[in-house]
Amino acid sequence: MAPYCVIAIINQKGGVGKTTTAINLSACLGYFGFKTLLIDADPQSNSTIGVGVQPEDYNYTFYNYLLGNYNLSDVVIKTKFTGLYLLPTNDDLYAADIDLSKIGDDNYNTLASKMGNQISEYDFIVFDSPPHLGPLTLNIMKASDTLLVPLKADFLALQGIAILMKTLDRIKINLNAKINLKGVVLTMFNQSTNLCKEVEQSVKEVLGDIVFDTKINQNVTLAEAPSFGKPVIYYNFKSSGSENYRLLTAEFLKRMKIAKRDS
């Protein structure tokens, strides 16, 4: 069986909630009964650390998988969280953009051609990605079929989304016709500010139904949880951040017409 979908969490802007969404969506999918592989494809290693894994403890990481002779099963580790597996990364991955460029014009296919039938045991694959659109990010987009975009609710949000939509059009034409934007999620939302409400209204006017109803509120628990190496549902289940990500995951599954399993 192939996974239900291979999800790329993408936004070329930094600090918009990509890693927080990758970690917590993956953990909630695992918690809901789906075997989920989180691939930390950002050399900053924030997703790796955020699920309690120390990058320096592993000699073989995403970098070795992408550019070496390793199978997925050689490099994936089982986390201590239900249903959640991790392909960790470390700072070796900073070399990937240059190494990929050296491969030549078809370097964008490196990851997709490696993953092939090696991912069939997972229900979901979730990529955390770097904050720029270099060869590594293009490899992620080629290997994925589903795009989720976290959008920080600030006044530059719409400018960022315009650039991303233009890039997505180019990707669909030139790189991967089967990738689809399946959702935009507003993050770090502060209900009490007019700015956030205005941003939400404008984003919905431009993007319509693609914007999730569930918003991720600004919540300090979400910022604290990674320092304890835990997804928020395992750090503080009752926090609003935990509830937001459980609701987002449920909304995503509904949108994808995938029935929730017993957890």
For ligand ATP, the binding residues (CB under 6 A) are 14-20, 42, 44, 46, 131, 187-188, 216, 218-219, 222-223
18 is an interface residue for Mg ion by CB under 5 A: yes
With beta carbons less than 8 A apart as the criterion, state whether 187 and 223 touch.
Answer: no
Number of residues forming the site for Mg ion (CB under 5 A)? 3
Element (H, E) at 174: helix 157-174
Which one, 119 or 185, has the nearer CB to ligand ATP? 185
Q: Which residues pair with 124 in a beta bridge?
A: 5, 36
- The stretch among 17-25, 109-117, 176-184, 254-262 that binds Mg ion (CB under 5 A) is 17-25
Smallest CA-to-CA distance from 230 within 15, 88, 24 is with: 24
Residue 59 burial (10 A CB sphere; 0-12, 13-18, 19+): exposed
Which residue has tokens 């070795």? 64
CB of 117 to ligand ATP, least distance (A): 30
Q: Which positions from 23 through 62 interact with Mg ion, judged by CB under 5 A?
A: 46
Q: Two tokens at 20?
A: 């927080």
64 is an interface residue for Mg ion by CB under 5 A: no
CB of 64 to Mg ion, least distance (A): 21
Element (H, E) at 185: strand 180-187
With beta carbons less than 8 A apart as the criterion, state whether 20 and 222 touch.
Answer: yes
Smallest CA-to-CA distance from 9 within 178, 182, 254, 242 is with: 182
Which one, 20 or 89, has the nearer CB to ligand ATP? 20
CB of 129 to ligand ATP, least distance (A): 8
Q: Two tokens at 5?
A: 């979908």
Which one, 46 or 123, has the nearer CB to Mg ion? 46
Q: Which positions from 171 through 200 interact with Mg ion, judged by CB under 5 A?
A: none
Task: State which of residues 11, 19, 21, 64 lies at the interface with Mg ion (CB under 5 A).
Answer: 19
Which one, 32 or 219, has the nearer CB to Mg ion? 219
Which one, 18 or 152, has the nearer CB to Mg ion? 18
- Contact residues toward Mg ion (CB under 5 A) are 18-19, 46
